[in-house]
Structure 1
Amino acid sequence: MFEAEDIRKWRGHDVVDPEGHKIGVLEAIYVDTVTDQPSFATVTVGLPTRHRLVFVPLGDATVGPGYVKVVHDKKQVKDAPSIDTDGELPAEDEKSVFAHYGLAYRAGVGGERCLARR
């Protein structure tokens, strides 16, 4: 996994699937509040007049010149839970993002949110 400060430099770069198909553009990084490691990214997708942000896990992602390659295919990412481009993910919706990718969800020790935007 790459360091959190490194991945922040990739904001605005393409996000591609394992086959190299462009999914969208990296908008923000969300870190796991327990480990403070990059966990998810939001990707801008949609038509120019109807953009939205979808969530994609960063586990096993790789970076290259001008792109971040994720391990999930384009269709699965585009079908992921989304928010408006100026929206925020409500805490109660975090579980659905994890479930979409078949990942286990665990809130923080005190019940706090699992993901925080950085």
Structure 2
Amino acid sequence: MFEAGDIREWRGRDVVDADGSKLGTLESVYVDTMTDEPFFATVTMGLPTRRRLVFVPLVGATVGPGYLKVAQTKRAVKQAPSIDTDGVLPATDEPAVFAHYEMAYTPGAAGERRLARR
């Protein structure tokens, strides 16, 4: 996986899918609140007049010269939960992000959020 400081430096760089097709640009990184490790990223996708931030897991992601390569397909990412470019992920929507990628979702022991934007 990445060091949290390193992956944040990639903001604005290209994000490509498992086949190398461009998805968009890295907007932000969300860490797992239990481990403080990078866990999801948001990717700016869409037309210039209709941009949105799509969530994509960082599990299995690698960095290349000038890009971040994620382990998912373009189709899976395009269908993933998203927020407006100036929006925030509501705590109640976190389970849907995990479910889309068939990942287990477990909130904190006291019900706290699982993801935090860094």
Q: TM-score, normalised by structure 1?
A: 0.99
Structure 2 distance, partners of 1:81, 1:60, is: 19
Q: Which 4+ runs in 1 deviate beyond 6 A? A: none
CA-based RMSD: 0.5
Q: Using the alignment, how far apart are the partners of 1:60 and 1:108 within structure 2? A: 24
Distance 1:108 1:37 in 2: 15
> Within the alignment, does 1:7 sit opposite 2:7 as a pair?
yes
**In 1: Cα distance, 2:55 partner to 2:42 partner:** 5
- The TM-score normalised by the length of structure 2 is 0.99
**Which residue does 1:52 correspond to in 2?**
52
TM alignment of 1:1-118, pairs within 5 A: 1-118=1-118
2:81 and 2:66 map into 1 onto residues whose CA distance is 25
SS in 1 for 2:26: strand
> 1:18: Cα distance to partner?
1.1
Number of equivalent positions? 118
- Work out the percentage of aligned pairs sharing the same amino acid: 70
Q: Distance in 2 between matches of 1:109 and 1:3?
A: 25
3-state DSSP class of the match of 2:112?
coil
Q: Any idea what the Cα deviations from partners look like across 1:79-106, whole Å, max 9, x if unmatched?
A: 1000000000000000000000000001
